[in-house]
Amino acid sequence: MKQVIAGNWKMNGAPDGVAGYATALRGAAAHTLLIVCPPFPLLPAFAAALAGSGVAVGAQDCHASAAGAHTGDVSAVLLKQIGALYVILGHSERRADHGESNAVVNGKVRAALAAGLVPIVCVGETEQQRDAGEAEDVVRTQLTHSLPAEFTGLVAYEPVWAIGTGRTPSEADVTAMHAAIRAALVAQFPATGATTPILYGGSVKPGNAAALLGLPEVGGALVGGASLNAADFLAIAANAPSV
Ligand code: PGA
């Protein structure tokens, strides 16, 4: 399976940056699957600019309902209609800023699947939880409760303390966590758990991408800050192992 390199633009970007970025990605021979996840208002422009390129577009959140009285929210159904194929769900910034529990994330994952979107479900421990030796238990609990029985898609392991900090876990810690996630997925989803891609996220840069992406059970990267620059994003993808 090709590695997946997904860019999470968070609340960054502007309309005048779409064309140049899309052109850069279009021109790159990618041995990976590239996914760009810009803020909602930029999704239609990206979907148009990347149509037919093989580069996919994803959103950063969706609501658990298909429509209705939910001011300020966006449904998975509408995201699918405007050209998104993927949706990041349960990112730690949403869990923290918007109080999203595992149960809330679970509802969103179900809505995404019902709408035909592929969810990228984020899990990861805080620094305090890692220091207390609870990291794997925390992540296992997030998987158990955030993923519905019908789950298919991707999982992203993002230690909260590594996001936007320039710090990354040791290779041994990433390897151990990805093995724990794989075991949990196989136990929870006997039919699909062995092949669910598990991305690593948290301060992935061109300089550390080769080491991180080469670790066992790392199926790609969820990239925040470094995805805003097309050259950096592509340099990360270029460092992914070929399969
Ligand atoms: P970062 O963010 O690459 O800026 O650390 C990753 C993420 O939050 O998805």
pLDDT value of position 243? 75
Packing angle of the helix pair 135-146, 102-115 (nearest 10 deg):
50
Question: Which DSSP string corresponds to 140-196?
Answer: HHHHHHHS-TT--SEEEE--GGGTTTS----HHHHHHHHHHHHHHHHHH-TTTTTT-
Nearest-CA residue for atom 6 of ligand 1: 224
The tens digit of pLDDT for each residue in 173-223 reads 999 999 999 999 999 999 999 999 999 999 999 999 999 999 999 999 999
For residue 225, the ligand 1 atom closest to its alpha carbon is 4
Is residue 242 predicted with pLDDT exceeding 90?
Answer: no
- Token duo for residue 15: 């309309």
Q: Known catalytic residue: 70? A: no
Q: What's the 23 CA to ligand 1 centre distance in angstroms?
A: 23
Distance of alpha carbon 75 from alpha carbon 95, whole angstroms: 18
Q: What's the 149 CA to ligand 1 centre distance in angstroms?
A: 28
Is residue 7 within 8 Å of residue 205, measured between CB atoms?
no
Give the dihedral of Cα atoms 36, 28, 23, 6; nearest 10 deg: 10
**Residue owning tokens 């300089």:** 207
- Band of pLDDT at residue 89, cut at 50, 70 and 90: very high
Distance of alpha carbon 111 from alpha carbon 63, whole angstroms: 7
User: Coil, strand or helix: which one is 34?
Assistant: strand
Nearest-CA residue for atom 9 of ligand 1: 224
Which residue of 223, 232, 236 sits with most ligand 1 atoms within 8 Å of its CB, as the best mutation to test the pocket? 223
Is residue 163 within 8 Å of residue 202, measured between CB atoms?
yes
- Token duo for residue 223: 């990239």
Closest residue by Cα to residue 143 from 203, 214, 85, 193: 193
pLDDT value of position 63? 98
Closest residue by Cα to residue 164 from 231, 91, 107: 91
pLDDT value of position 27? 85
Q: What's the 67 CA to ligand 1 centre distance in angstroms?
A: 30
Average pLDDT over every residue of 95-118: 98
Average pLDDT over every residue of 91-109: 98
Q: Known catalytic residue: 217? A: no
H/E element, 21: helix 18-26
pLDDT value of position 28? 87
**Residue owning tokens 């769900």:** 89
Q: What's the 44 CA to ligand 1 centre distance in angstroms?
A: 23
User: Coil, strand or helix: which one is 19?
Assistant: helix
Closest residue by Cα to residue 22 from 13, 40, 3: 13
Q: Which residues line ligand 1 (CB under 6 A)?
A: 8, 158, 163-164, 201-204, 222-226
- Band of pLDDT at residue 11, cut at 50, 70 and 90: very high
> Residues 91, 93, 125, 178: which is the catalytic one?
91
- Token duo for residue 186: 């196989």
The tens digit of pLDDT for each residue in 20-66 reads 999 999 988 789 999 999 999 999 999 999 999 999 999 999 999 99
| Largest Cα–Cα separation, the chain | 47
Question: Which DSSP string corresponds to 61-115?
Answer: --BSSSSSS-TT--BHHHHHHTT--EEEES-HHHHHHS---HHHHHHHHHHHHHH
Is residue 159 within 8 Å of residue 125, measured between CB atoms?
yes
